[in-house]
Structure 1
Amino acid sequence: MNDSLEVEADVSETIDPGECFARFLNVQKSYDGVELVVKGFNLDIQQGEFVTLLGPSGSGKTTCLMMMAGFETPTHGEILLKGEPISGLPPHKRGIGMVFQNYALFPHMTVAENLAFPLEVRHLSKAETKKKVDRALAMVRLEEFGDRRPAQLSGGQQQRVALARALVFEPELVLMDEPLGALDKNLREEMQYEIKRIHASLGVTMIYVTHDQTEALTMSDRIAVFNDGVVQQLATPEMLYEEPENAFVAYFIGENNRLQGEVVEHIGDECQVRLDSGEVVLAKAVAAGGVGARTTLSLRPERVSILLDDSHSFDNYFEGEVKEVIYLGDHLRTRLAVCGNDEFILKTPNAKGHPSLRPGQTIKVGWSSKDCRALDA
């Protein structure tokens, strides 16, 4: 899809320097003068906030981070920091800390020397430099590793050093580009909580880029979900998960069941949808369109209940055949054939007294209309 670069907006009238700490204002980016990789990006970030740019590869999220850092220049629009435009400033004059996926540590320097480098280029005294380096090492719990070189550290320790180096000169803004992508699962989870702890203790503003939804949900105050250069939804982790505004967000954030159908009636803020398999489902009308419009129903697997008898109050209840049961420790993931969908997922807690299921078994399941969202087709 090609987007004209001639569509511009007057940004001068909408700049309010005192309103937020960092701002993307009608930002566009093209590398070839034809195709826009970022399309009209607007985002206000408050001081001390942890904002994540989340999306698949090629969605434009990293380009936005690189424009804030100064490694890329907007084709149109403006980026402001503390109310001042920064698009004309080189990266080293922006006072922004940066953490990359590949750590970007100097291999010939010790850990302490790596941390001292950004202080030395700012001409701090040796005494002040040592004080700040010691404090940064303590912050990431590497006090005993100052004399080691990066090659003598584990991946997780190297990433802690990279984080400490980004924070050692006490920037007000830290940018992180897929910083945990090279770590294994356990280390990645450990570092998520470590970064969250440091953010809470310092109150520094952080902009974080990832394609990992779990990272985004775990760490962020707000998340901007990107697709095709456009923010699909900007909200808190809870809002994104519980109230996705379109089918892409529902699909990208967490697991969900998708049922296709056609709107047959609107009833207040709900609608009846006739599924392609013939069943009629009552759902919350979010972006369903009018009568006759195609829609996708989104339903989280943990919002589906097994019905042991007829004493329930669910708006929607159907029979399903158990196809597969996977034991995952704290919960069971059951795949069912329901409403013409052979990939319908049910998640149930591994709790005492919960009914055991087996492939081939026919069961009844139900869910509330408020948990089933009618979205775009």
Structure 2
Amino acid sequence: MGEDILVAFRGVQKTYDGDTLVVKDLNLDIRRGEFLTLLGPSGSGKTTSLMMLAGFEVPTQGEILLDGVSLHNMPPHQRDIGMVFQNYALFPHMSILENVMFPLRVRKVPRAQARARALDALAMVRLEGLDARRPAQLSGGQQQRVALARALVFQPQLVLMDEPLGALDKQLREHMQMEIKHLHARLGVTVAYVTHDQTEALTMSDRIAVFNDGIIQQLDSPRGLYENPRNSFVAHFIGENNVLHGHVESQDGERALVRLEDGQCLRARCPRATLRGSRTSVSIRPERLHLEEIGSDVNALPGMVEEVIYHGDHVRLRARVAGNEDFTIKLRYRVSRPIPEPGDAITVSVAVEDCLALDPIG
């Protein structure tokens, strides 16, 4: 195993009933020091994969290696892994300090040394002076910081986080995302993070593994996933997308001419070789669309505005375009630019590079 690989899943499968595979032939390397997010909808296999790594679930088949050592039959407490859960899992009868000291006491660290390290860990998550309180006396955000300190206090080589911010409100969740990101950068610890929130994954991760139906659909950087999704599932799970259905008329390298269902033609990037006449779904991001001329190598599609929604920094138009009655256009708001009204005829311009012909949906 390469020096920079800390965790390796090799041919891992998991079934609970002996029939349905929740995780199918998982092969995944987690690099030392990286922040890797397992992203996907409920039931996609991401949490099960994390629980197998933690030791709370056993693979039906395959092997998991941590720093080159097989985890087969190794109990969770021997794996040198920190865990942070959505529900914090703090001991309500213990003080905050005792909660953070707990992993050290289990590891037989002398009390005075454990106390000093726990106080350092609480300072690291900015909870100085709260060590005597009980969990019930803290806010949700503070409790999550305690859980974080407890996971980091014994200096594990790997920290697993399972939807750790799911119980927090939007503003606090966004604040904690940056807290965790900055802690990771400062400590250099390896993090495997599970979420179903694609914005959270894009914000925090070095790389993202997108799960669906027990399989990694794509493993890439946040930018790679957003700009170059490998298939329609990834395109529509990461960010917003408009979909136009059609057939491939012709293909020249990575460019295809697509005839849409209403008869119009559209030029698009087509990363895979596709047979002429094959069905395809073209994905277009709402923020890449324009209502003015944007130069050469563009597609222009006529449409009709159905609804206008003002968002302050931008305006969202819902329009009827090329057979899609729910086509979204996201325009940066400018006082000098008139906003179309419902019922107005428009022409939507989009660069060919921003149209992506992928596998058909539906």
Query: Please, which moves more after superposition, 319-328 or 153-162?
Result: 319-328
Aligned to 1:331: 314
- CA-atom RMSD, angstroms? 1.2
Task: Describe the SS at the equivalent of 1:215.
Answer: helix
Instruction: Give, in whole Å, the separation in 1 of the partners of 2:46 and 2:354.
Output: 30
Aligned to 2:98: 113
Query: Please, which moves more after superposition, 361-370 or 47-56?
Result: 361-370
Which stretches of structure 1, 4 residues or more, deviate above 4 A after TM superposition? none
Instruction: Give, in whole Å, the separation in 2 of the partners of 1:135 and 1:54.
Output: 32
| 1:17-48 CA-partner distances (Å, limit 9, x unpaired) | 64511111111111111111100111111111
2:202 to 208, 217, 224: 217
Instruction: Give, in whole Å, the separation in 1 of the partners of 2:308 and 2:2.
Output: 56
Aligned to 1:10: none
**Residue 137 of structure 2 corresponds to residue 152 of structure 1:** yes
1:34 to 16, 19, 25: 19
Amino acid paired to 2:185: A
Q: What is the aligned length?
A: 360
Checking the alignment, whether the CA contact within 8 Å between 1:272 and 1:280 is kept in structure 2 is yes
Aligned to 1:370: 353
1:268 to 253, 270, 275: 253
Checking the alignment, whether the CA contact within 8 Å between 2:4 and 2:32 is kept in structure 1 is no
2:220 to 235, 244, 254: 235
Instruction: Give, in whole Å, the separation in 2 of the partners of 1:126 and 1:35.
Output: 48
Checking the alignment, whether the CA contact within 8 Å between 1:282 and 1:316 is kept in structure 2 is yes
Checking the alignment, whether the CA contact within 8 Å between 2:105 and 2:114 is kept in structure 1 is yes
**Residue 336 of structure 2 corresponds to residue 353 of structure 1:** yes
Amino acid paired to 2:328: I
**Residue 280 of structure 2 corresponds to residue 280 of structure 1:** no
Gaps of 5+ in 1: 1-15
Task: Give the TM-score taking structure 2 as reference length.
Answer: 0.97
Aligned to 1:6: none
C-alpha displacement of 1:288: 6.3
Aligned positions of 1:31-180 closer than 5 A: 31-180=16-165
Amino acid paired to 1:327: Y
Task: Describe the SS at the equivalent of 2:208.
Answer: strand
Task: Give the TM-score taking structure 1 as reference length.
Answer: 0.93
C-alpha displacement of 1:286: 2.1
Question: Matched residues, percent identical?
Answer: 60
CA distance 1:311–1:68, shift in 2 (3 Å): closer
C-alpha displacement of 1:311: 7.2
Instruction: Give, in whole Å, the separation in 1 of the partners of 2:92 and 2:294.
Output: 67
C-alpha displacement of 1:181: 0.7
Instruction: Give, in whole Å, the separation in 2 of the partners of 1:287 and 1:359.
Output: 38
CA distance 1:364–1:17, shift in 2 (3 Å): closer
Checking the alignment, whether the CA contact within 8 Å between 2:294 and 2:349 is kept in structure 1 is no
Aligned to 1:300: 285
Amino acid paired to 1:301: P
**Residue 324 of structure 2 corresponds to residue 341 of structure 1:** yes
Amino acid paired to 1:148: R
Task: Describe the SS at the equivalent of 2:245.
Answer: strand
**Residue 175 of structure 2 corresponds to residue 190 of structure 1:** yes
